[in-house]
Amino acid sequence: MTKKKTDNSGELYEFDKRYYNEYPIVCGVDEAGRGPLAGDVYAAAVIFAPDTVIEGINDSKKLSEKKRDELFEEIKSKALCWAVAAASVEEIEKLNILNAAMLAMQRAVAALDKQPDIALVDGNSLPKLSMKTEAIVKGDALSRSIAAASILAKVSRDRYMMQMAKEYPQYAFEKHKGYGTKLHYEMLDKYGASEIHRSAFLRKYYAKQGK
């Protein structure tokens, strides 16, 4: 028996709606790329008008690449404002991945044309922001604003990794976007790590290999 796919964008809208009663400007914040072995970590911040409607919006991980690309453009065109930012591999190595992701979120919110009254942040950790913040566990599946941010961050990072695939063609980044797939590990075994690989993420793997 197959499950029928449903559009729960209305439920995500209702989740955000409760915040508009108290906070005129609500911002959703999310990141993409905490898990990969290579590349920068990205974050996005999105502010919608309360009555904005975007059908099909959802957690980016639940959407096809084609759907994410379509929603990416619609979100940018319909949002009051949006911003995407990143933290570099060097910053990931220096700060650790969690703190680097928080830094990317801070940069995304700071780059908004309007500063929000409240920022709804996916997960259970909060970046240091000047406005009220609230951590929403699994927020990308609950909040329209966070889901939109997850889509912007995911698509932006995927496009960045496609560019990295041109600069480092031997690693096939276009296929795995830097995640620890079998193919990626095979390429690491063959070519070693590149400048955009996160050395801290590879220590355990190399230790098992006796390297």
How many separate domains does the chain show?
1
> 168 in a domain, yes or no?
no
> 45 in a domain, yes or no?
yes
132: containing domain? 9-159
In the prediction, which pLDDT does 4 show? 39
> 201 in a domain, yes or no?
no
> 181 in a domain, yes or no?
no
For the chain, the average pLDDT equals 93
In the prediction, which pLDDT does 60 show? 86
Neighbours of 19 (CB within 10 A): 19
Closest CA to 85 of 110, 65, 116: 110
pLDDT tens by residue, 98-144: 999 999 999 999 999 999 999 999 999 999 999 999 999 999 999 99
> 180 in a domain, yes or no?
no
Closest CA to 130 of 27, 2, 3, 9: 27
CATH of the domain at 100: 3.30.420.10
> Consecutive 10-residue runs of the chain (211 residues): their mean pLDDT?
52 92 96 97 97 88 92 97 98 97 98 97 96 97 96 98 98 97 96 96 80 58
In the prediction, which pLDDT does 2 show? 36
In the prediction, which pLDDT does 210 show? 65
Long-range own/partner contacts, residues 126-131 (CB < 8 A, 24 or more apart) = 126/102, 127/29, 127/102, 127/103, 128/102, 129/105
> 165 in a domain, yes or no?
no
In the prediction, which pLDDT does 6 show? 47
> 73 in a domain, yes or no?
yes
CA dist 61 → 33, 140, 152, 160 (Å): 12, 9, 12, 17
> 172 in a domain, yes or no?
no
pTM: 0.92
